[in-house]
């Protein structure tokens, strides 16, 4: 392990007092932050000294909702609603295998790192028969890229013939889902402080999962001390589905099945009444806000400011790359701010609120505020060094506004657990050109398998 001293930068800590230091320092020893403050800091013997003048240091971003495999199926059904988009993409996803998932995950995670992400979750719920060990494939990709990873063992057991949306060939038997989920936890989950790998349990959605699987999955997760994740209230089509099939709203359906509480986070949560917003806050449930994907498929704008005001931890997610071709977490910070203001006025969110959603709030969604999400001594050394002294940013008075509202700045350095993952806008653990070619080949193969 190595040590770093970053000095001379504007440091945004996101600590309890939201301290910021112009011309400050951050000292990293092994995987931990050992000092943060104004001016010059201590210099451990043998430390790499990084001149941060003209730069902004932030905590690493936390991506709270993603579908990594979709990196290989971007640019399809670009003018569809969610249900139309899913209907077109499900037959393509039915062809994924270990190679496809590893390649797509490598591309998506690399680009997330390039946009400031140090911790990412993934919600993988498509397990075609004969596809191989897909969870292992993406875990290996995360290790190679070097990011902290929270994969969710997803599932679908409500196929089209039983009234669900997905085709029958991509759903699983409930007992098989539960057995595979338990096996994934036994094999991969690391609950220790500073963990680089934790598993969550994540049935897909009300229109692709039976109530029985939702209940059983919650029981399994809580018996193992795991977190629970699912899509909820993403579209009005989902609202109609739940009212017609279950005679209640999506949130009422989820709560009836035991799917609220401090160990649960919902993706999207767009179409919520005032009472639903309040109830999510009262139960301590969290939300992954995915503004770009929501806009791309015309689903709507989540009430992120109202949810935050109700005490809900609201993190950010890029969602599936096939419904958000950019796959940039920094872009989500900007869009979260702009969409909230478009809906609620200029005071709905501040630029620092948006940055908080990407960092400390994201850590709260994943239950990791003890070790990530802010720059404080003793926490994991997950941080981003952004260069903001070029033509696009040099005259922007507020460094945080430069990052959030300005053009995406160069990423000089990204550290995860004290290890460099990105340097000078280049991901160290992968051959980016070769990965681009490999992803293109996988994309073409999947389309050919689907007869496209």
DSSP code per residue over 217-248 = HHHHHHHHT--EEEEES--HHHHHHHHHHHSS
pLDDT tens, position by position, 163-201: 888 888 889 999 999 999 999 999 999 999 999 999 999
Number of domains in the chain: 1
- Among residues 256, 257, 255, 258, the alpha carbon closest in space to that of 269 is found at 255
Residue that has been written with the tokens 């995670």 in this structure = 109
Q: 17 lies in a domain?
A: yes
- Among residues 305, 295, 298, the alpha carbon closest in space to that of 340 is found at 305
Give the pLDDT of residue 287.
Answer: 98
Partners of 398 in beta bridges: none
Task: Decide the pairing of beta strands 48-51 and 3-12.
Answer: parallel
Where in the sequence is the domain holding 41, given as residue range(s)?
3-59+373-427
pLDDT tens, position by position, 328-368: 999 999 999 999 999 999 999 999 999 999 999 999 999 99
- Alpha-helix runs per DSSP H in 29-126: 82-93, 98-114
Q: 25 lies in a domain?
A: yes
pLDDT at 292 over 90: yes
Contact 314, 284 (CB under 8 A): no
Q: 219 lies in a domain?
A: no
Cα(234)–Cα(240) distance, rounded to whole angstroms?
11
pLDDT tens, position by position, 63-122: 999 999 999 999 999 999 988 999 999 999 999 999 999 999 999 999 999 999 999 999
Q: 444 lies in a domain?
A: no
Q: 19 lies in a domain?
A: yes
Q: 11 lies in a domain?
A: yes
Q: 406 lies in a domain?
A: yes
Give the pLDDT of residue 131.
Answer: 94
Instruction: Show the beta-strand stretches assigned E in 380-423.
Output: 383-387, 411-416, 419-423
Contact 344, 302 (CB under 8 A): no
Backbone angles phi, psi at 118, to 5 degrees: -110, -20
Q: 252 lies in a domain?
A: no
The CATH number linked to 413 is 2.30.40.10
């Amino acid at each position: 392990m190595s040590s770093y001293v970053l000095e001379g930068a504007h440091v945004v800590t996101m600590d309890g007092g939201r301290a910021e230091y112009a011309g400050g320092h951050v000292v990293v020893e092994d995987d931990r932050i050992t000092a943060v403050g104004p001016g010059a800091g201590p210099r451990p013997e043998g430390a790499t000294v990084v001149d941060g003048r003209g730069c902004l240091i932030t905590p690493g971003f936390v991506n709270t909702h993603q579908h990594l495999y979709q990196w290989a199926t971007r640019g399809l059904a670009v003018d569809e609603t969610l249900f139309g988009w899913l209907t077109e993409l499900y037959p393509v996803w039915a062809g994924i295998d270990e190679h496809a998932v590893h390649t797509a995950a490598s591309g998506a995670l690399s680009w997330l790192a390039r946009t400031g992400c140090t911790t990412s979750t993934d919600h993988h719920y498509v397990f075609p028969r004969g596809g191989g060990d897909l969870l292992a494939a993406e875990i290996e990709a995360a290790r190679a890229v070097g990011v902290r990873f929270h994969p969710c063992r997803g599932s679908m057991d409500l196929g089209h013939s039983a009234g669900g949306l997905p085709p029958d060939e991509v759903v699983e038997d409930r007992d098989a889902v539960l057995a595979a989920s338990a096996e994934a936890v036994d094999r991969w989950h690391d609950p220790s402080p500073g963990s680089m790998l934790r598993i969550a349990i994540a049935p897909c959605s009300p229109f692709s999962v039976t109530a029985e699987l939702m209940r059983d999955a919650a029981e399994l997760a809580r018996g193992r001390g795991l977190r629970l994740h699912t899509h909820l209230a993403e579209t009005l089509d989902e609202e109609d589905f739940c009212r017609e099939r279950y005679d209640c709203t999506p949130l009422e359906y989820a709560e009836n099945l035991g799917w609220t509480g401090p160990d649960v986070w919902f993706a999207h949560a767009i179409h919520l009444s005032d009472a639903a917003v309040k109830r999510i806050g009262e139960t301590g449930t969290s939300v992954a806000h995915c503004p770009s994907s929501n806009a791309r498929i015309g689903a709507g704008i989540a009430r992120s400011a109202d949810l935050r005001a109700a005490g809900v931890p609201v993190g950010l997610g890029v969602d599936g790359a096939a419904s958000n071709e950019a796959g940039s977490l920094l872009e989500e910070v900007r869009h979260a701010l702009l969409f909230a203001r478009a809906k609620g006025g200029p005071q709905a969110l501040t630029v620092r609120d948006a940055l908080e959603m990407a960092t400390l709030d994201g850590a709260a969604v994943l239950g990791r505020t003890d070790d990530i999400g802010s720059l404080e001594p003793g926490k994991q050394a997950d941080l981003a060094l952004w260069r903001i002294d070029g033509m696009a940013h040099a005259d922007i008075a507020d460094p945080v506004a430069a990052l959030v509202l300005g053009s995406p700045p160069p990423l000089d350095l990204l550290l995860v657990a004290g290890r460099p993952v990105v340097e000078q806008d280049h991901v160290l653990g992968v051959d980016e050109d070769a990965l681009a070619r490999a992803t293109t080949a996988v994309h073409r193969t999947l389309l050919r398998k689907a007869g496209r």
